[in-house]
């Protein structure tokens, strides 16, 4: 696939909502979302990897456990650029939310997205994880709150 087609596929994926049923239908069966390794504890294992369309459905749980406004999609996101070459698309953006403790959170992100055929095959997420950890998990109380909310969400509850 050329860069223009890869970029168009990624734009379509985001427009449908990457974790919506339509968005999950656009990812490969062996899809991987690879997060920063230092945040593996939030991904529920030893690796910071979500696998397959069903693993991608876990992504909103992470955000809902961390940020108060994520419940209503009220945070901010500013796209800086979206570029593509061949089957690789790179997206840089910043996002801002408020933690459950009322602290402002604003971070820079870079997603490296690999397309395979007509499917999204892989996303590599890059961010300032030291900042994320300090703001969202930096005290025992914050960390316990995030893990409690994650457990509730994973069990099908609401926070």
pTM of structure: 0.91
- C-beta neighbour count of 17 within 10 angstroms: 13
- Which strand (E) or helix (H) includes residue 60? helix 59-66
Q: Does residue 88 lie in a domain region?
A: yes
How are beta strands 104-116 and 49-51 bridged, if at all? unpaired
Q: How many domains does the chain have?
A: 1
Domain range enclosing 105: 3-153
Q: Does residue 127 lie in a domain region?
A: yes
Output the pLDDT for position 71: 58
More confident residue, 7 or 67: 7
pLDDT digits (tens, 9 = 90+) for 18-75: 999 999 999 999 999 999 998 898 888 889 999 999 999 888 888 889 988 765 556 7
Q: Does residue 159 lie in a domain region?
A: no
- Say how far apart CA 117 and CA 126 lie, in whole Å: 24
pLDDT digits (tens, 9 = 90+) for 130-144: 999 999 999 999 999
Mean pLDDT value across the chain: 92
- Say how far apart CA 91 and CA 109 lie, in whole Å: 8
Looking up residue 149, the CATH number of its domain turns out to be: 3.10.450.50
pLDDT digits (tens, 9 = 90+) for 92-139: 999 999 998 889 999 999 999 999 999 999 999 999 999 999 999 999
Q: Does residue 158 lie in a domain region?
A: no
């Amino acid at each position: 696939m050329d860069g223009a087609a890869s970029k168009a596929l990624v734009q379509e994926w985001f427009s449908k909502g990457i974790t919506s049923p339509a968005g999950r239908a656009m990812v490969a069966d062996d899809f991987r979302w690879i997060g920063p390794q230092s945040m593996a504890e939030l991904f529920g294992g030893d690796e910071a990897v979500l696998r397959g369309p069903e693993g991608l459905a876990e992504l909103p749980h992470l955000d809902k456990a961390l940020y108060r406004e994520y419940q209503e999609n009220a945070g901010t996101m500013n796209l800086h650029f979206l570029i593509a070459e061949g089957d690789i698309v790179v997206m840089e953006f910043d996002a801002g939310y408020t933690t459950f403790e009322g602290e402002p959170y604003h971070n820079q992100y870079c997603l490296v997205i690999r397309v395979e055929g007509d499917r999204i095959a892989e996303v590599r997420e890059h961010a300032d994880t030291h900042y994320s950890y300090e703001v969202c998990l930096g005290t025992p109380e914050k960390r316990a709150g995030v893990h409690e909310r994650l457990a509730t969400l994973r069990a099908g509850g609401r926070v």
